[in-house]
Amino acid sequence: MAITFDAPSRIHAVRYKLAADAYLNAMSSPYKALVAFTDVVKDAKDGQEYTEAKMNGFPEAATGDRFEADEYRFLIVASKFQTGFDQPKLVAMYVDKKLSGVACVQTLSRLNRTTAGKEETFVLDFENTAEDIKKGFQPFYDRVTLSKETDANQLYNIRTDLEKFAIHEAADLEAFAKEWFIAKPSVEKLQGVVNPVAKKWQAEAEEDQVDYKSKARDFVKLYSFLIEDLNTRSGACHGL
């Protein structure tokens, strides 16, 4: 399992990395720390110039892959790995920077991936209050509360919201369903349907991408709940 440290700036990330290395060496620890930041950082304290590649000992592009190794248990970050970073072994996060909006969601969501033995996660935040985080998540939070009294009309409301993005069309859904509901669906054909829609989504502003994805997740969750509820009620009727 591993931990990330979110630094408030690149120079802080450099200093955290130096301090972490010194501490781990003093402890004769078998584990190492990685750092992730962009460009070159010059520290006025020692006059040295630092880069991610120089501090880690390998090319910058390899940082994410190297973090897979068991020896790397700590990742110090300065505004990197916000999106597209899938690392299930992360269980804890230390936050030393202000978070807001989509950056808040992206940063804390690094802990979302599941893996064997990972039963809970932990965040120690030095800069944000619980209200700050709630406010940051609010625009993207799953808005659907599931209960026995869930109104099926919410499903149509969410669909209307999704259609306003003009990312997918009815024809896209029909084409996907046609390929999906056959005896042996072809992954290649399904990708051929999905890829043009994915490109439209990728062309959207980052906040719109998150909003669309959140609403799509709401739709799937509510649809699944309603179908399960319908099947349960149907089974109960058959049992009478």
Could you read off the pLDDT of 9-55 as tens digits, one per residue?
Answer: 999 999 999 999 999 999 999 999 999 999 999 998 889 999 999 99
Q: Name the percent of the chain lying above pLDDT 90.
A: 52
* 130-137 helix and 101-108 helix, angle to the nearest 10 degrees: 100
Instruction: Give yes or no: residues 123 and 64 share one domain.
Output: yes
Which pLDDT score is estimated for 153?
Answer: 82
Q: HEC profile for 51-91?
A: CHHHHHCCCHHHHHHHCCCCCEEEEEECCCCCCCCCCCCEE
Instruction: Give yes or no: residues 111 and 49 share one domain.
Output: yes
**How far, in whole angstroms, is CA 89 from its chain's centroid?**
13
For residue 167, the enclosing domain spans 153-239
Residue 7 within a domain? yes
Of residues 130 and 150, more confidently modeled = 130
| Tokens matching residue 24 | 């781990």
Inter-residue contact 218 to 144 (CB < 8 Å): yes
Instruction: Give yes or no: residues 46 and 121 share one domain.
Output: yes
Q: Is the pLDDT of residue 233 over 90?
A: no
Which pLDDT score is estimated for 149?
Answer: 52
DSSP at 37 = -
Instruction: Give yes or no: residues 158 and 43 share one domain.
Output: no
pTM of the model: 0.59
Last residue of a domain, one of 140, 162, 184: 140
Q: Is the pLDDT of residue 231 over 80?
A: no
Side-chain-side CA neighbours of 180 within 13 Å: the count stands at 9
Instruction: Give yes or no: residues 126 and 21 share one domain.
Output: yes
Q: What is the mean pLDDT of the chain?
A: 87
Residue 148 within a domain? no
Q: Is the pLDDT of residue 67 over 60?
A: yes
Inter-residue contact 197 to 172 (CB < 8 Å): yes
| Tokens matching residue 74 | 């700590």
Instruction: Give yes or no: residues 17 and 131 share one domain.
Output: yes
The DSSP line for 184-195 is S--HHHHHHHHH
Q: How many residues would you count in the chain? A: 240
pLDDT tens digits for 99-145?
Answer: 988 888 888 888 888 888 888 899 999 999 988 988 888 776 655 55
Inter-residue contact 34 to 75 (CB < 8 Å): yes
Q: Name the percent of the chain lying above pLDDT 70.
A: 90
Cβ neighbours, 10 Å, residue 124:
11
Considering all CA atoms of the chain, what is the largest pairwise distance in Å, rounded to the nearest integer? 81
pLDDT class for 191, splitting at 50, 70, 90?
Answer: very high
Cβ neighbours, 10 Å, residue 48:
12
Of residues 106 and 7, more confidently modeled = 7
